[in-house]
Amino acid sequence: MDVDAPPIIPLEIRRPTGTYRLSDFDIHRTLGTGSFGRVHLVRSKHNLRFYAIKVLSKEKIVRMKQVSHTRNEQMMLQAVQHPFIINLWGTFQDSTNLYMVMDFVPGGELFTLLRRSNRFPDPVAKFYAAEVALALNYLHNLDIIYRDLKPENILLNFDGHIKIADFGFAKYCNNTAWTLCGTPDYLAPEIIGNARYNKSVDWYALGVLIYEMLSGLPPFHEPDASPVVLYEKIAQGPTCIRWPAFNTNATDLILKFMERDPSKRYGNLRHGAGDVFAHPWFREVDWERLKNREITAPYLPRISGAGDASAFEKYPEDNIATAAYGVSSADEFGDMFPDFEYTSHGL
């Protein structure tokens, strides 16, 4: 659904973005695929650094009514600069596609590590949860609601610290929102109830994430069940969760995050994120050292060198699609993405 109005966002652009064109890069391989296109590992011909370029089909974005989400993603990423959030270096467009030049984060998805590990020991889950909490607090202080927290959107950098990626559902929100969007297992009850909601839906999702990291699956997960069954359980709340033998402080924090009533939810009370940082489960976390990446990560990705993308799944390369990148043709959608620089000429 793309019912939010076109973005008018009073956010300061914090990141100076460069001017790029496709001819600045050599495309190496596909890192991921999605509804609108692909993410490629590329190497700059100028500074020889590796980047990830997200290529999005304008025609598909328009057809699936995702124009404002796409523009929001670009604006949000230009407005943020945080050690645990992916960097957007620049954007451009040609006749058929939009291009977003971002960090290449070589450690792959937290999801992959979690599936390989089955579940994380308490200190490991706490490390990743603490870094996510710092990133969410930063976004919320800018009045940005993230709305898509899940292990697939948390990438691991070469040093094992996180980078939150995929801001397609992020939105400037200084009050409330009401669009139904996100990943079913991670949706707060007020979202599925079509009620107005605020930034506290991100804290709810962090509760789901902590549970999934500690147990291996989200709390309401039902294999092969319809979303209706899942939504009924979410609406019912944590009373129908089966609890493994977690650390009691972890269970307490999950319950405080997954509180059905947003006005009683941790992160949304009078002290805001202060309550989260002061919770007993995080007692031994040195938040300042963590933010400065001075604490060694529990898992260091095995990376053979710059440009090693072995942590990412292998995808069949669509050479026909990449051959069409940058080809000049009629463009009926160019004016719908005014913030993406037009560099189709002289590619």
Active site residue 148: yes
Q: Which of 24, 103, 148, 202 is catalytic?
A: 148
Tokens read off for 129: 């949860």
Tokens read off for 145: 């609601």
Gap between the Cα atoms of 228 and 199, Å rounded? 24
Q: Regarding beta strands 88-93 and 341-342, do their DSSP bridges make them parallel or antiparallel, or are they unpaired?
A: parallel
| Chain mean position to CA 294 | 23
Could you tell me which residues are beta bridge partners of residue 144? Answer: 172
Which of 194, 26, 253, 213 lies closest to 114 in space, CA to CA? 213
- Only one residue has tokens 């966002």, namely 9
Gap between the Cα atoms of 34 and 25, Å rounded? 21
Question: Which residues are within 8 A (CB) of 219 and not within 5 positions of it... i.e. 6 or more apart?
Answer: 208, 211, 212, 238, 241, 254, 258
Q: What is the DSSP letter of 278?
A: T
| CB-CB neighbours of 65 under 10 Å | 11
Question: Which residues are within 8 A (CB) of 263 and not within 5 positions of it... i.e. 6 or more apart?
Answer: none
Gap between the Cα atoms of 76 and 168, Å rounded? 9
Q: Please indicate if the annotation marks 45 as binding a ligand.
A: no
Question: Which residues are within 8 A (CB) of 226 and not within 5 positions of it... i.e. 6 or more apart?
Answer: none
Cα distances (angstroms) measured from residue 137 to each of 84, 133, 144, 218, 324: 11, 6, 10, 23, 41
Torsion angle (degrees, nearest 10) of CA 293, 126, 307, 76: -80
Task: Enumerate the active-site residues.
Answer: 148
User: Could you tell me which residues are annotated as the binding site for ATP?
Assistant: 54
Residues annotated within the binding site are 54
